[in-house]
Amino acid sequence: MRARLAWLVAGTTVLVLLAFLVPLAVLVRDFAEDRALSRANDVVRTVVPLVSDENGLRLSVTAQPVPVTVFLPDGSWIGAPAVPTPAVRLAEARGRALSVSTEEGREIVVPVVGAGGSTTVVRTLVTDEELRQGVTRAWLTLAALGLALILLGLLVADQLARAITRPITELSDVSHRLASAELTARARPSGPRELREVAGALNHLAGRIQELLAAEREQIADLSHRVRTPLTALRLEAESLRDPEESARVSSAADEVARAVTAVIQQARRRDAPPARSSCDATAVVRDRVAFWAVLAEDTGRSVTQTLPDQPLPVAVAADDLGAALDALLGNVFAHTPDGTSFSVTLTRRTGGGAILEVADEGPGFPPSAARRGVSAGGSTGLGLDIARRAATAFDVGTGASGGAAVRMEISA
């Protein structure tokens, strides 16, 4: 923007200067020519009255600052050496003064008719150098003045552009900081009134976002905290079961839900952003979560196929987030496919680092709205895929080889 304003001012200044300096330069040239011709005419007018006095004429012609030649009726001449030019012969024939442009400059001839009808012609030549005397220096002065005015205009334009663009740059920087979750960033109102209003509106928006996020975090934390009461009751009910295996399984599930609720509360209470970078072993997390769901799969008659690498596979995702993502995908399988539907979990190494996690089933597949957040055709919240999507670098929902649903997650290292 600064460059555009500078070019705009430079172009405008050049046009104004051309409209002013070009006529002025022509006027200076014409003035120099008129001055030189006027001086020559004055010299001629000084010599003409002395034509009848030959001695005085010789002294006067010799004393003139410009070369003057007087052609006498007998063909001789007095003054600067010269030959009769066509202008001299024409003036002698017509008896009229002439001013003629030649290759050497401007020739001025004045005929003087004597008492006997004889004609004496006074001639002077104003050269091109004399006609342009001082013009070049005046033009250089005008050019220097024009260049100085252009530079001054560019300097003023740059200062003006900087005064305008600095607040805009600051506003852009604050908006990027806000986009990076630095919600304490605020713009400093400066510059023109319109920009100050924009800065105030941006600060108001940032404050309002902080208020809304704080209220949302409190609501999520309160809601999650309320879930703990029924979880406690569920754990007590599990302990009262007579079957030890059934009691252990229900208690383990209740503990898993309790850990998830605790993680939600901690995340909702955490106000510092951005969060610290986390990592985990994807192989261990996937193996653990598949083992957890395998128990329910056995109860519902589902066949589970898992393909995992033999070595640890580090990924740049927290273990809780990766586990929650896989739980969401497997939960969709159990919620939206009939009992007895087989599914598979495949974890492979990603080219360039990271992992690729694929969950596929042999069910009816995803409805068309499955890729949209918060939309579900099965009466659920529609957030399961979005939970998995947040943990992935790349996320794809499609159809597996058996015609059922397939979800592919790419996780960075």
Architecture per CATH, domain 2-135, reads as: 2-Layer Sandwich (3.30)
The answer to whether the CB of 43 falls within 8 A of the CB of 68 is yes
Residues of the chain with pLDDT under 50: 272-273, 371, 373-381
Nearest one of 79, 106, 116, 111 to 94, comparing CA atoms: 111
Please, where in the chain does CATH 1.10.287 lie? Answer: 204-269
Predicted local distance difference test score (pLDDT) of residue 47 = 84
Residues of the chain with CATH 3.30.565.10: 280-411
Burial of 281 (0-12, 13-18, 19+ CB in 10 A): middle
Class of domain 280-411: alpha beta
pLDDT score of 307? 93
Retrieve residue 93's tokens. Answer: 């024939």
Given this model, what pLDDT does residue 347 score?
94
Give me the sheet containing 119-127, strands edge to edge: 77-79, 68-71, 119-127, 105-113, 98-101
**CA dihedral (35, 39, 45, 51) positive or negative:** negative
Which residues make Cβ contacts (< 8 Å) with residue 287, sequence separation at least 6?
A: 306, 308
pLDDT of residue 270: 59
Q: What is the pLDDT of residues 72-95, one digit of tens each?
A: 888 888 888 888 888 888 888 888
d(CA 357, CA 308): 10
In whole angstroms, what separates CA 225 from the centre of its chain? 48
Nearest to 348 by CA among 410, 284, 285, 278: 410
In sequence order, what E strands does 74-203 have? 77-79, 98-101, 105-113, 119-127
C-alpha–C-alpha distance, residues 323 and 256, integer Å: 11
Q: Is the full-model pTM beyond 0.75?
A: no
State the greatest distance between any 2 C-alpha atoms of the chain, in Å, as a whole number: 161
Coarse DSSP helix, strand, coil percentages of the chain, rounded to the nearest 5 percent: 55, 15, 25
345 φ, ψ (degrees, to nearest 5): -125, 120
Cα angle: 231, vertex 304, 412; to 5 degrees: 80
Task: For tokens 């503990």, name the residue.
Answer: 255
Say how many CA atoms lie within 13 Å of 336 toward its Cβ.
27
Quick check: 158 and 100 in contact, CB under 8 A? no
Distance CA 323, CA 391 (A): 10
Continuous segment of H or E residues that includes residue 323:
helix 319-336
Domain boundaries 204-269, CATH class: mainly alpha
Structure tokens at 344: 């598979």
In the chain, CATH 3.30.450.20 sits at: 2-135
Query: Pick from 65, 66, 64, 34: which is nearest to 131 by CA?
Result: 34
DSSP state of 114: -
Q: What does the angle CA 260 – CA 297 – CA 346 come to, to the nearest 5 degrees?
A: 80
Give the containing element (helix H, strand E) for 347: strand 343-349
